[in-house]
Structure 1
Amino acid sequence: MKLLTDTGWVFMRYLRGLLRSPFILVMTVVQPIFWMILFGHVFSSIGSIPGFAASSYIDYLGPGIVMMSTMMSGAYSGMGVLSDYKDGVLDRMLISPINRLAMLLGSLLQDALTLIIQAALMVGVASLLGASFSGGLLSIVQLILIAVLLGLAMGALSISLGLIVRKESSLTAAVSFATMPLLFLSGLFMPLQLVPRWVELIARFNPLNWAVEAGREVLGAQPDWSLVLQHGSYLLILFAAACLLVFAAFRQYQRSL
């Protein structure tokens, strides 16, 4: 019971903080929209290549941008912990009787709510730009769930890194350094059959590519569920490992007090 109460308190605290500073959320939505419009027009002719994986390039790009949006949002989740660290709130929480698991669960619940809203908005924008989601509402829900799982995994990694570096500038630099290769070393913008072999090999170990391929698959008329389960399992393992890393980072931080 205490775990649920503490989780609810942490969740509401982070949610109120987000509502007071919506600029970050707005920017993580605006940037993917810009990329969707830009790349959707620049590479639109790719959709006419014989054997292309989608009827149009925007159909191909749309699910990938949904994943990109939640990944980028999750990657900056550590900023909230750094704000608490800078204000001394984190130290007070750690010496209080609050459940340590609730600190993580409350933060992740707030991230999950934000990511669901964000992914739904991106699906709507993609639809307005011409993307078709032929699988219906159920496939869109599955797409959003995959996107949220990717965002939560990135969020947990970001929180861990924030607790380690303890500087907003360092976290921002690390996120920028990590996310750009993840974007371009994947099948987000271009089918892997059209990229160099070494890019295709790296994409096999790219969490964003796992999510993108699984997301596109659930939208198909006849999804390959083995591929969806395989890549979904990879994301779940990554998320579990990231959560363990958060607990280790919290313990290290407590020992440094």
Structure 2
Amino acid sequence: MTTVTTGKDKDPAAGSAGAADATEFVAPRAEDLAEFLAGRDRPPRPSALGASLTFGRRAMLKIKHVPEQLFDVTAFPIMMVLMYTYLFGGALAGSVSSYVQFLLPGILVMSVVMITMYTGVSVNTDIDKGVFDRFRTLPVWRPAPMVGYLLGDVVRYLIASAVMLSVGLAIGYRPAGGPAGVLLGVALLMVFSFAFSWIWTMFGLLLRSEKSVMGVSMMVIFPLTFLSNVFVDPRTMPGWLQAFVNNNPVTHLSTAVRDLMAGHRPAADIGWTLGWSALFVLVFGWITMRLYNRK
């Protein structure tokens, strides 16, 4: 920026002490600006991982500035564990301590999977605010904003898992698999949740309002979570319902997490869960990016 200094007229009575200088700011000429920029090296383009982590950090900063967003990963999981354990424990298993061994891994899966739908709400909110118009002009890996949303939400899922496991241990849950089994179960849950969240990013881009995203998400997620083996063994259900429940991706995930925390190695259910996860990323990730590029 160019500066021009001009001298004010001197006051004869004040002498040289009355002189004052003023600085005027003049916009630089296009030629000067081009010459200045030409002499600088272009900054390197960020890598796909670096750009994704940056957008993930942005998602975490939003939680920092609006801590009420943590309500769904703290108070909600506590309420779910206590309500279902003490409501159904005596009726289904004869005692709370017996039922919590079966319920806690399942309710952990159900709560985290339900929380994933808020990813679509966040995407839709940023679209309404015009933030995505800015993202599309940045010289970064194209899917980085979407991946960043999901990486930021993985931290929220970990917080919810830690809260629920802490409450479960306090009311009598004892995982036979020890810390290793718990960590493996949580890791598998994080992989599935990351993949499953691509469904909601698609809805966030496709639907017009936040309420529409919430409404459609509920219609999809409630049958998947409640028509599963989260609460009871499917063998007690009618045959026609068992056919759906046994092929439900949430059922495979719940069984895998439950067995891992119990010290078993359910290869079949782990394979099904990873297969479903890959399918979600390939199908809904592709649809999400097409919508993102066209919207």
Task: Compute the TM-score of the two structures, normalised by the length of structure 1.
Answer: 0.88
Correspondence 1:164 to 2:206: yes
- Report if aligned partners of 2:112, 2:157 keep a CA contact under 8 Å in 1: yes
Correspondence 1:36 to 2:81: yes
Partner of 1:121: 163
Correspondence 1:7 to 2:45: no
Correspondence 1:47 to 2:100: no
My pick for the range that moved more, 238-247 or 209-218, is 238-247
Sequence identity of aligned pairs in percent? Answer: 23
User: What is the 5 A alignment of 1:105-254?
Assistant: 105-253=147-295
Alignment gaps of 5+ in structure 2: 1-45
Partner of 2:144: 102
Partner of 1:19: 64
Output one character per residue of 1:182-203: Cα deviation in whole Å (capped at 9) or x when no partner: 2221011111011222221112
Q: How many pairs were matched up?
A: 249
Distance across 2 between alignment mates of 1:6 and 1:222: 38
Paired AA for residue 5 in structure 1: G
Paired AA for residue 162 in structure 1: G
Alignment partner of 2:111 out of 69, 83, 86? 69
Paired AA for residue 93 in structure 2: G
Higher strand share: 2
Distance across 1 between alignment mates of 2:194 and 2:115: 9
Distance across 2 between alignment mates of 1:157 and 1:105: 13
Higher helix share: 1
| SS in structure 2 at match of 1:42 | helix
| SS in structure 2 at match of 1:43 | helix
The structure, 1 or 2, with the larger RCO (C-alpha pairs under 8 Å, 6+ apart) is: 1
Output one character per residue of 1:3-55: Cα deviation in whole Å (capped at 9) or x when no partner: 23322321121111122223233124323322322221222132249xxxxx8
Cα gap change, 1:27/1:105 in structure 2, threshold over 3 Å: closer, same or farther? closer
In the TM superposition, what is the alpha-carbon distance from 1:108 to its structure 2 partner? Answer: 1.9
My pick for the range that moved more, 69-78 or 229-238, is 229-238
Alignment partner of 1:84 out of 119, 122, 126? 126
- Report if aligned partners of 2:178, 2:263 keep a CA contact under 8 Å in 1: no
In the TM superposition, what is the alpha-carbon distance from 1:162 to its structure 2 partner? Answer: 0.7
The structure with the largest alpha-carbon Rg is: 2
- Report if aligned partners of 2:228, 2:251 keep a CA contact under 8 Å in 1: yes
Task: Compute the TM-score of the two structures, normalised by the length of structure 2.
Answer: 0.78
- Report if aligned partners of 2:205, 2:291 keep a CA contact under 8 Å in 1: yes
In the TM superposition, what is the alpha-carbon distance from 1:64 to its structure 2 partner? Answer: 0.8
In the TM superposition, what is the alpha-carbon distance from 1:56 to its structure 2 partner? Answer: 1.4
| SS in structure 2 at match of 1:134 | coil
